[in-house]
Chain A
Amino acid sequence: MHPILKLVVQRIALGLILLLAVSLVIFLGTEALPGDTAQAILGQSATPEALANLREKLGLTLPAHVRYINWLWAALHGDLGVALTNGVDIAQAIGQRLGNTLFLAGCAAAISVPLAIGLGLVAARYQGRWPDKVISGVTLTTISLPEFVAAYFVIYLLTQVFPLFQPVAMVFPGMGFWEKLQAVALPVIVLVMVVLAHMMRMTRAAILNVMQSAYIETAELKGLSPMQVIWRHALPNAIAPIVSVVILNLAYLVVGVVVVEVVFGYNALGQYLVDHVTKRDLPVVQAVGLIFAGVYIGLNILADVISIIANPRLRHPK
């Protein structure tokens, strides 16, 4: 077997084991909370008989490991159970919101990743000179603002001072792609501001690190222009660290943007999760937790695989 294939298979297998471990932690974590689901549904004033009946009905009398296996088995088949608070099928409720989450994250990523890498390259090219200082200063400012501050600032600027957009990012099933794009413009701008600096700085640092190498001097002595040197000779050797930071930010865009969702009234997974945490709706919390963990682990496997493939020593063994 080609060593690359072997490494990739290893990473994926490790990821699956990790996901299994996370599912166990999610299950045990929600188990460890005081009270149980029946108590939560019926409230403090429930009679012991009613509680016992409901526990029987929900299968809560079964031992914990049996319930874990049942839950996991059903989840693997796409059955995430029903929400306790409103009886809605969780898989269905999540489906549309997950789409919204991925749409927002995808739009933010499509802008921020190329922009961050581009700015990082420019900053590295003009290291210590004014373009570098401007880029570093601006991105550092945007990352230093709390998300909700940045969000309200953007809303004020682009709906009041320059009334270009709607302050609320409502999307409905059946909206056209272009309409949806317009709707998410403001949250996308905020998210780009939040994730730009981290990726930009890593790109800059990784490139500057590679620029110390002897082969960069070789490229300079070939008479290549500074940007050619960076693009052709530095970037291919700086991919691994850049990719790992890009992927971390992508994961954040999927799982960590609840504040932005709330500010813009965007109906997506983060808000859904927070709503149901406050209601102690354990099946929903477990289901969303599992999805977030899956996204996180999946993206990190992707980062590992890209780093492996980017390494010529692994791609072309002796």
Chain B
Amino acid sequence: MPEPLLEFTDLRIEATSYPPGEAPKNLVLVDGVSVGVEKGKVLGLIGESGAGKSTIGLAAMAFGRGGVRLTGGVISLNGRDIRVSDPAALRALRGREVTYVSQSAAASFNPAKRLMDQVIETSVSHGLLTKAEAEARAVDLFRQLGLPNPDSFGQRYPHQVSGGQLQRAMTAMALCPKPDLVIFDEPTTALDVTTQIEVLAAIKKAIVETGVAALYITHDLAVVAQVADHILVLRGGKKVEYGTTQQIINDPREGYTKALVSVRSIEHAEKVQAAPVLSVANVTARYRGTQFDVLKNVTVDLAPGQTLAVVGESGSGKSTLARVITGLLPPTQGRITFAGRTLSAALEGRSKDDLRELQMIYQMADTAMNPRQTVGTIIGRPIEFYFGLKGEAKRKRVQDLLDQIEMGKGYIDRYPAELSGGQKQRVCIARALAAQPKLIICDEVTSALDPLVADGILKLLLNLQAEAKVAYLFITHDIATVRAIADRIAVMFKGQVVRYGQKSDVLTPPFDDYTDLLLSSVPELRVGWLEEVIAGRKMDSAGN
């Protein structure tokens, strides 16, 4: 067996957390993980958030984010234990033997410097190449990664290029100093599904052509199946299962791995059409001070107690549609009818009942709640505002709602910081329900959640819909979510609805070009899928 390039032996990583009002707690983030990567091979690390994937990835550079400490075990890189290396030796290996590609390239590039200066920085400062050599290599890499105008691409600033391009530029930055190992930390997670596939293909091509070894971290098993030779499944900082990609995908042994492989178990039968509760008719909208219509002649209907899924990539106008319906952005043309009455275009012109019957849930539950209010206060607010309930009556209603979202009374006096991501989103759902709305707009409500947690939220939403007969306008970029929850679907592309109808019709061929692109871009859980789909492409994505 060949000597491994990187080998973790019994790795232990700890951190100290400082919960408000309590004594500091010691947390074990990674516990007894042993795994190795051979030269030129790709190891996939997979698990939910909190599984310790990124922490292990950064440990390959002997780097602990924040107060994270590498407290035990051996991190052997090229034959030496880097866990105990001194800072100067670590600086010498970082950016030279091991490089890093982060989830958000947009945040990871310095906004004040040209891309080229950042891409070649390591090669030059480590004395590996002269400036001219490094620039020539960077241009080659830009070309290899399929970036537009590779010769002049580096002269641009980060804000001048798209998210997908930045992610490729970061890959170029990682490959420029010819490292032995690259750590890819969720490099495509923040991208649209149609862009993700292209970046994924570019990364895979670069890995193959340069022969570099890689740690590929993701929560999406279908993604890692496309690039990895081996997969390590993690949970709560511990190893669950390790094997070849084929074995993990096709023959998982552990129960947890099987759950990951077969996530999205929801079966949702489409409901029949009925008279709409919400009608959006010929709506065109633009933002103030711009000359560009973000929505172009959009017409959709939604029946009571049903779900309309609005899908599309970022910039397609999905969230703008929500802003128009809620009155935050008055449309330049078109009309919105809700529960039999025409809604005023502007928020100021709407009655209290208009506001009450139309609620919203957001992607980031964190930022949608006041961190200094308890769950009881947060959910109680609309109860008091819309129904005038106070004191015991209000508290009783809050408790009922907490039961409805399957959380129980014990949470009423907790603060958002004491809740998990899924629980926070449940509280936001309860807050929306408290107003007893006819329609809830759900804007990417499961996008920030782990698959298993997201699954729970979707099930809850479906149950609540069956009980309360509330309609959902469900904005998402995730086709799997759409399949799970929708009755009707509107596919949006560049501000227009390109395909619209009952779920069974929209998801049945023949497709228009864009819907085909969108559907075919969703990673499938089988090895070799990426190559097939890239070969069969009809069009490029808009966000590329």
Q: In the docked arrangement, what's the CA distance between A213 and B104, Å?
A: 11
- Assuming A213-B107, A312-B111, is B157 touching A218 (CB within 8 A)? no
Q: In the docked arrangement, what's the CA distance between A252 and B91, Å?
A: 43
Q: In the docked arrangement, what's the CA distance between A233 and B65, Å?
A: 18
For the complex, is B534 an interface residue (Cβ under 8 Å from A)?
no
Q: Which of B92, B110, B160 contacts A219 (CB 8 A)?
A: B110
Q: In the docked arrangement, what's the CA distance between A14 and B102, Å?
A: 43
Interface string of B137-178 (1 = CB under 8 A from A): 000000000000000000011011000000000000000000
- Whether B112 contacts A218 by the Cβ 8 Å rule is no
Q: Which residues of A contact B250 (CB under 8 A)?
A: none
**B11-19, B28-36, B120-128, B410-418 - the one binding chain A:** B120-128
Q: Which residues of A contact B107 (CB under 8 A)?
A: 213-215
For the complex, is B256 an interface residue (Cβ under 8 Å from A)?
no
Q: Which of A220, A223, A313 contacts B111 (CB 8 A)?
A: A313
Count chain A CB atoms within 10 A of each CB in B58, B109, B121 and give the residue with the most: B121
Q: Which of A217, A223, A233, A237 contacts B122 (CB 8 A)?
A: A223
- Assuming A214-B102, A316-B160, is B110 touching A221 (CB within 8 A)? no
Q: Which residues of B contact A127 (CB under 8 A)?
A: none
Q: Which of A224, A310, A316 contacts B91 (CB 8 A)?
A: A224
Q: Which of A221, A237, A312 contacts B63 (CB 8 A)?
A: A221
Q: Which of B91, B108, B111, B157 contacts A217 (CB 8 A)?
A: B108
Q: Which residues of B contact A223 (CB under 8 A)?
A: 90-96, 122, 125-126
- Whether B108 contacts A214 by the Cβ 8 Å rule is yes
Count chain B CB atoms within 10 A of each CB in A221, A313, A316 and give the residue with the most: A221
Q: Which of B91, B108, B125, B159 contacts A218 (CB 8 A)?
A: B108
Q: Which residues of A contact B93 (CB under 8 A)?
A: 223
For the complex, is A77 an interface residue (Cβ under 8 Å from B)?
no
For the complex, is A85 an interface residue (Cβ under 8 Å from B)?
no
User: Closest Cβ of chain A: how far from B15's Cβ, in Å?
Assistant: 16
For the complex, is B61 an interface residue (Cβ under 8 Å from A)?
yes
| Interface of A (DSSP majority class) | helix
- Whether A218 contacts B102 by the Cβ 8 Å rule is yes
Residues 241-277 of B at the A interface (beta carbon under 8 Å): none
- Whether B157 contacts A214 by the Cβ 8 Å rule is no
- Whether A225 contacts B91 by the Cβ 8 Å rule is yes
Query: Which residue of chain A is the closest to B106 with respect to CB atoms?
Result: A214
Residues 457-485 of B at the A interface (beta carbon under 8 Å): none
User: Closest Cβ of chain A: how far from B70's Cβ, in Å?
Assistant: 15
- Assuming A225-B91, A318-B159, A318-B160, is B104 touching A214 (CB within 8 A)? yes
Q: Which residues of A contact B110 (CB under 8 A)?
A: 215, 218-219, 233, 236-237
For the complex, is A6 an interface residue (Cβ under 8 Å from B)?
no
Residues of B participating in the A interface, judged by any CB pair closer than 8 Å: 58, 61, 63, 65, 90-96, 99-100, 102, 104, 107-113, 121-122, 125-126, 156-157, 159-160
6 closest residue pairs by CB, A with B: A223-B94, A222-B95, A214-B107, A223-B95, A236-B112, A223-B91
**8 pairs of residues in contact across A and B, judged by CB atoms under 8 Å:** A215-B111, A222-B121, A223-B93, A223-B122, A232-B121, A312-B111, A312-B157, A313-B111
> Beyond the given A222-B125, A223-B92, could you list 16 further A-B residue pairs with CB under 8 A, ordered by the A residue number?
A213-B107, A215-B110, A215-B111, A217-B108, A218-B108, A220-B94, A221-B58, A222-B99, A223-B91, A223-B93, A223-B95, A225-B91, A237-B112, A310-B112, A312-B157, A316-B157
